[in-house]
Structure 1
């Protein structure tokens, strides 16, 4: 009987899932991918056959919460598990805190510790953990593994982890963690396939999507990144502001009368590309738009990414390669071109034809800095990490 692993990524109103078949080796083959959207509202479940993207299901549901969404998912999967042994479930958990530098088997003690991190990341953490609790109730005997977006960055040197705050705050956990680590771990694993010996050199990976960050790697290990204590820091994102003057929230509360909840909602939900454009958080729509506000949003994003690449090049004492990944990084050729144009002073020269074709190599052959487009696969990283713990 073949083994299978269930992958879950629970959001505030959605539940993404995938079923992987574990082949001898082991190797991991995606079988089904699905999503339950608008949980608590007009929820809908869509499932496709992973290898071909053939749509298998698209129907409304009545999922009032994550518990009911999990039950609906399991009910659909049940007949398709015949002949398979579901050995574990792996969950994306955004924040692992200072304690977790590797994936961990979930129990009540682990869940309690992870729930203490909710105030640091109220946008993701409570929903990631809601998915775990719902599956624990539905399948109490199924081993579950938490895979952390922060874990890859535990190699950051102390200099990069510290804020200029009193030491007691650092010791209490107020430090730079970094995020998107599951994506960066996948890119690090495949870098030699694309870059050869340069993979061990000075590489900056740009994970550009609705959430966006950069990671500076040396020997395929994280040495600096743009997100820090929370996923709100760093680059401007779809609806998140990125790095701002830390006194701005204080000003908004003191002078504009906003309370804590209103400031949090503003910075997390109404800023970034949406705030700049006034119309959309979707880079595709902004690139198609022809308004001054849309052009400003795109230009601001490009400027901030290029500026951050320069800063991370300082942390690396130079740069050998720049890798684009995630939704914008993999698919938005105009954004990649504009970023690379601002990095010409580093010696990077773009191949426009290769960039329009989405790579994989999008730099000129004689460019001293290579530019690449490499698709990411966070689900595969979760499957590998989950199997390693479940089979131990």
Structure 2
């Protein structure tokens, strides 16, 4: 029998998220691994979806998104970041941010084009680059401060480089790229005529006075940047898969061409509900309250991890904390996370999954704090037993 799987699938097996979530279920562990809230989203959003369904908004939406949602996205971006967006020509609604990323890569890459990925990276990035016919190239952030070496970034650019993928606020490190760092990236993009794909799904989840600056708003970057975002992260409805891409009209036309042949359109009532949510957030304190809630949850998990003898690295954005496990005697972060799930009853993610060569990853574990306070408290109780396991 001929080979079933295409060669592009080589090296892409079960994701670490799936493995750790499966182990968490098998061992009844508290899942602080995969990044999704265990609390409900806002009632307003749920009621809006029910209203849309009952109003029979249940057929295909326009492929590039309901006009109401595209207007809400454009208005939100302009109000928040001071850059006007044309909802008809510069916004595309997608089935989650991950689909927006794939649609963009399919739209811009020729076979053999290189794409620079900053590692650690969201694990979908390399697979999507390969699926689109590209070749990933990697530039690491420097732990523990997660600084970006702009000289190393410049050295990674070749005549075949087509794009760079940026993620800020950053998963898994919690880094929020500074305006100065972004300016350095922007300068290289303009010097080498690169397209920037900026994954900004955690733009509303920032702490400690951090300021999110969309790369597209820097001088000279609007025409060459695709900004990717997700209503699922902002409104705690990850299962609805309502994402979007904002880009200048020429890039948007290319993205829409691929998007129409991937999912064609995203669920209509969920789009209408997210439009209602974004409209409400324009005049309410929703975003400030969201950041304040996540600050409390971050601090609660930080205390729990430190109390269990797991030193925590700084986090200024996203809903993840990295803890230092280098003193626990485990050879790899995968071994630690399997142990933590099966023996302690708390699931975490090994960040080596976010590196091209897992052996180069520092010994850390990623914990998600998008959880109810009682979930984090229960995890803290289990984590307190870690010292017993460590010395047994």
TM-score (norm 1): 0.29
Structure with more contact order per residue of length (Cα contacts < 8 Å, sep ≥ 6): 2
TM-score (norm 2): 0.29
More strand by share: 1
